[in-house]
Amino acid sequence: MRSLLLLSGLLLLGNALQASAAEQPALADEVKALWQANDYAAAETLLAPLVTKKTKDAQLLALLGRTQAGLQNMERAEELLEKAIKYDANNADYQHWYATASCNLAGSASMFSALGYAKRCKKAYQAALTLAPENPRSYIALGSFLAQAPSIAGGDKEQALEMAQQLKQLDALQGWLLQLKLANIADEAAFNQFLADAELLQTRPEAYFQRAMQLAAQDNYSDAITLLQQAIQQPAVDNDATASINESRYQLARCAVLGKTAVAEGIAAVQHYLQDNPASDRHDWAQLRLAQLYLLSDQADKAVAITQPLLAATDDDKLKAELKKLL
C-alpha cells in the first residue's frame, strides 16, 4: 500500500501534497489500521508528506493530529486538530481528538495555561456530544472531565452524575464506571452498598481498584494492597478491565514501597506489569519500584543492576532524584 501511495505521488508530480484524503479512501483506513497496531511512527510517515502549512483538508489534518497524539507530541497534535475543526467543526471525531489533546496538555501545564487548555477541552467534548449524542464515548469523555477537573477548570460533579445516569440508558456498564469515578467508597459499608447497587461491577476490577486508591490516599497501604490483589484476580474481560488490572499491579508495588509491607507480593506484581507493558509510559517508574522493593528485601545487587543503567538513560528529573536516593 505504501508503494502504491508513493507511485501515486510521483504521477501527480507533487499535487498529492494537497490531495484530499477523501480522494484517497484507502488512506484513512490504512492509518487507522496502523493506530490499531500501535504503529504511530508508520502512520506519521504516511501522512506527513501530505500536510503542509497551507493544507486545508480537515481529514488529513485530523489524521495527522491524532497520529501526533499517539506519538505523545501533544502540542503539535492540538495545533493540527484545531485546524481540522476550523475547516470541519461538525465532525465528532475531530472534536473528541482535539479535546483529548487539550486535556492532556492541561495536565502538564502551568496553572494559567492549564485553565485555557481545560476550557478548550470541555468545549470540544461538549461539541462532540452534541454531534454524536448516541455515542457512549461522548458521555464518557465529558463526564470524566466533569468528574475529575477542579471546579475552577470547569469540573462539576453534579453534572457528571447526571451524565452517568444518561449514559446508563445507552451503555449500563459504562454508566456505572462513570458513576464509580464520583463515588466515595473508602468506607467498607459504602463500598458494599455501591457494589450491591452496581451489580455489573461486582466481578470487575475497577471498584476494588477505586477503593484501594482512596485507602492509599489515607496511608492505609495494607488494606489498599488487599483490595488491589482482589482487583488483579478479576477476569480481564475487556480493555477497560485489562487496563485496571495493569494499573492495579503497578499501584500494588507502589503501596508496598510506601507502606514497607507485602514486599514479595509487590515484586511479583511489578514484574508482571513490566512483562505485560514493555511500552508503557510508566515503564521506567515501574523499574524504580522494583529496585526499591529489591532493597526492601535485602537484594541490593538486583537493585543496583536496575538503578545505574536507568539513571544513565532517563531524562525524567523526578525519576533521577528518586533513583539517586537508592545509590
- Domain ranges in the chain are 195-327
User: CATH classification of 195-327, choosing from 3.40.30.10, 2.60.40.1250, 2.60.40.10, 1.25.40.10?
Assistant: 1.25.40.10
> Count of CB atoms within 10 A of residue 29's CB?
11
For residue 77, the tally of other CB atoms under 10 A from its CB is 25
- Amino acid identity of residue 146, one-letter, is L
pLDDT digits (tens, 9 = 90+) for 73-104: 999 999 999 999 999 999 999 999 999 999 99
pLDDT score at 14: 34
pTM for this prediction: 0.83
pLDDT of residue 188: 96
SS3 232: helix
Residue 58, Cβ density class (10 Å: 0-12 exposed, 13-18 middle, ≥19 buried): buried
* Residue 188 cell numbers, joined: 467498607
Rounded distance between C-alpha atoms, residue 42 and residue 4, angstroms? 15
Q: What is the predicted pLDDT for the residue at 25?
A: 66
Q: How far apart are CA 67 and CA 156, in angstroms?
A: 31
pLDDT per position as a tens digit, 96-118: 999 999 999 998 888 888 999 99
Whether 16 shows a pLDDT value over 60: the answer reads no
Cβ contact 26:60 at 8 Å: no
Per-residue pLDDT at 305 exceeds 60: yes
- Of the candidates 244, 242, 286, the one whose C-alpha atom is nearest the C-alpha of residue 268 is 286
pLDDT in tens, 208-255: 999 999 999 999 999 999 999 999 999 999 999 999 999 999 999 999
Helix (H) or strand (E) holding 139: helix 136-148
User: Quick one: what percent of the chain has pLDDT higher than 90?
Assistant: 89
Q: Count the Cβ atoms, other than its own, within 10 Å of residue 208.
A: 24
